[in-house]
């Protein structure tokens, strides 16, 4: 029910609460039933967990959500690796009841008699350790990059490609070797190699590509959990892990498609940054505007579309946008929001910010839905967005972002672009939209600019 609730913004908060409650009941029931903790320990754990969770909820900014998700994925991976390690010790100790309990479970898996249940278990332990450890260290690097603890650049270590390949093949080989000659030493070596693999893989990916990597790491943490499910002979863990694994892969593919990049390009290609010649594109063609002129345009408009981007998130301009929207609606205008799937820096970034200020979900239009109607838009307000409205993606096959689907704001009657300067966005390329005849540049911080336009409209 929690997951179902999360499928729509209207029910998402309830879904989140339900999911959390479900986990609480599950954890408390297991700790209680297995007599792992007494009442005192349970209450202490609940208090500590609640405090940590509340601190995260209050203190972590929405823009810092990707790194929080990254570190949570990492913990998931580490948990799976630890389960594998713990179980390895139990398997080595044949006196424990663990294997006996699971014998019938593995018997059903190995009914064909192709492989023994020891083999299934050894393989699962090795695999959970490999994926879990690589997910943990990879996620820590992703967290460090996004939190700016280390530089977000692409670390081009000489021979990295060869090293990554060797580590991947080496760890897979060790995993396979555990089938024939399992040993505790081999297991720890596997964990060590997989940990270096996670670091080597993520170090060479630029900070701006981290959201895609995080979606991938999320998927890997699910796969590690599913492997841990095989280790523990726990069907629900296998199901839950597979669910996370599959949905993480789907999200990764959606993000790659929306940026017109292949996953291989994100993982191994570095970021396509082209300097571009700003002078040629902008000189003599930029028309500046101010709050008063924007107010006049808005007053005359029937249909206004906001196109929010990363800059709205940085400026935390969503409250000001809500105020302006209210005033426009009061004046009988149609107000909509065009949402690009990779606007901002994480999937659903714009949806979350606009939901925070109670913009009705029906006013949010997906790119495919709103694009054909831009010819009838009187004023399009591009708010801190850049790449997602760059027409070169559509018109120039040689551009680094060629083929990336964009929001066709340039087809609106009037375009107002709000940003602080002519600086490029994430892709690092100039945007000819700014020099178009129907574009006016309103330079300034997104929040301040919207507030001043709102005041000017009130006074108009």
Q: Which is nearer to ligand NAP, 333 or 419 (CB)?
A: 419
d(CA 318, CA 446) in angstroms, rounded, equals: 9
Least Å from the CB of residue 180 to ligand NAP: 42
Q: Which is nearer to ligand NAP, 242 or 260 (CB)?
A: 260
Least Å from the CB of residue 310 to ligand NAP: 4
Contacts with 206 (C-beta within 8 Å, 6 or more apart), sequence order: 152, 153, 154, 270, 271
Q: Collapsing DSSP states into helix, strand and coil, what is residue 426?
A: coil
Least Å from the CB of residue 116 to ligand NAP: 45
| Pair of tokens at residue 300 | 């005359």
Least Å from the CB of residue 343 to ligand NAP: 4
Q: Which is nearer to ligand NAP, 123 or 388 (CB)?
A: 388
Least Å from the CB of residue 445 to ligand NAP: 4
Q: Is 387 a catalytic residue?
A: yes
Residue with tokens 């995993």: 175
112: buried, middle or exposed (CB in 10 Å: 19+, 13-18, 0-12)?
exposed
| Pair of tokens at residue 244 | 């996370």
Which residues sit opposite 237 in a β-bridge?
Answer: none
Contacts with 370 (C-beta within 8 Å, 6 or more apart), sequence order: 305, 336, 338, 407
| Pair of tokens at residue 291 | 């709050």
Contacts with 59 (C-beta within 8 Å, 6 or more apart), sequence order: none
Residues in contact with ligand NAP by CB under 6 A are 208, 211-212, 255, 259, 309-311, 314-315, 342-347, 349, 384-388, 419-421, 423, 425-427, 445-446
Per-position DSSP letters for 355-416, written without gaps between them: HHTT--GGGEEEHHHHGGGGGG-SEEEEES--GGG-THHHH-TTSTTTT-----GGGSSEEE
CB 432 within 8 A of CB 285: no
Q: Which is nearer to ligand NAP, 84 or 202 (CB)?
A: 202
CB 92 within 8 A of CB 121: no
Distance of CA 252 to the CA centre of its chain: 8
Relative to beta strand 439-443, strand 364-366 is unpaired
Q: Which residue is nearest to ligand NAP (CB)?
A: 425
Q: Which is nearer to ligand NAP, 99 or 255 (CB)?
A: 255
27: buried, middle or exposed (CB in 10 Å: 19+, 13-18, 0-12)?
middle
103: buried, middle or exposed (CB in 10 Å: 19+, 13-18, 0-12)?
exposed
Q: From the candidates 277, 292, 362, 387, which is the catalytic residue? A: 387
Q: Which is nearer to ligand NAP, 315 or 379 (CB)?
A: 315
- Which residues participate in catalysis according to the annotation? 387
């Amino acid at each position: 029910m929690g997951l179902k609730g999360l499928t729509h913004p209207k029910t998402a908060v309830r879904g989140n609460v339900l999911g959390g409650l479900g986990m609480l009941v599950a954890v408390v029931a297991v700790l209680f039933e297995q007599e792992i903790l007494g009442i005192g320990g349970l209450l202490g754990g609940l208090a500590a967990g609640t405090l940590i969770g509340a601190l995260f909820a209050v203190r972590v900014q929405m823009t810092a959500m990707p790194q929080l998700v990254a570190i949570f994925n990492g913990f998931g991976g580490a948990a799976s690796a630890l389960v594998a390690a713990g179980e390895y010790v139990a398997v080595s100790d044949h006196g424990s009841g663990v294997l006996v309990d699971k014998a019938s479970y593995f018997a059903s898996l190995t009914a064909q008699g192709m492989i023994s249940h020891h083999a299934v278990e050894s393989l699962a332990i090795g695999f959970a350790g490999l994926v879990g450890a690589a997910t943990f260290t990879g996620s820590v690097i992703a967290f460090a990059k996004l939190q700016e603890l280390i530089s977000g650049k692409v670390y081009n270590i000489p021979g990295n490609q060869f090293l990554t390949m060797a580590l991947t093949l080496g760890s897979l080989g060790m995993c396979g070797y555990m089938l024939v000659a399992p040993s505790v030493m081999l297991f720890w070596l596997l964990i060590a190699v997989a940990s270096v693999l996670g670091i080597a893989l993520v170090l060479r990916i630029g900070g701006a590509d981290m959201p895609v990597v995080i979606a991938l790491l999320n998927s890997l943490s699910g796969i590690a959990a599913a492997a841990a499910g095989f280790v523990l002979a726990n069907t629900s863990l296998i199901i839950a892990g597979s669910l996370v694994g599959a949905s993480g892969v789907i999200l990764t593919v959606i993000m790659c498609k929306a940026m017109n990049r292949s996953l291989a390009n994100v993982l191994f290609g570095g970021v396509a940054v082209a300097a571009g010649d700003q002078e040629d594109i902008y000189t003599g063609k930029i028309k500046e505007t101010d709050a008063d002129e924007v107010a006049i345009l808005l007053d005359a408009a029937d249909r206004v579309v906001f196109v929010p981007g990363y800059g709205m998130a940085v400026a935390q301009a969503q409250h000001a946008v809500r105020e302006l929207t209210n005033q426009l609606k009061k004046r009988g205008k149609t107000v909509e929001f065009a949402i690009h799937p990779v606007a901002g820096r994480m999937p659903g970034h714009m949806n979350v910010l606009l939901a925070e200020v109670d913009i009705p979900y029906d006013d949010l239009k997906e790119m495919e839905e709103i694009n054909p109607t831009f010819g009838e838009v009187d004023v399009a307000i591009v708010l801190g967005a850049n790449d997602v409205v760059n027409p070169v993606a559509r018109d120039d096959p040689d551009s680094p972002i060629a083929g990336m689907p964009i929001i066709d704001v340039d087809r609106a009657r009037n375009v107002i672009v709000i940003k602080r300067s002519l600086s490029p966005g994430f892709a690092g390329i100039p945007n000819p939209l700014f020099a178009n005849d129907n574009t006016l540049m309103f330079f300034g911080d997104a929040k301040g600019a919207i507030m001043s336009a709102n005041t000017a409209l009130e006074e108009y």
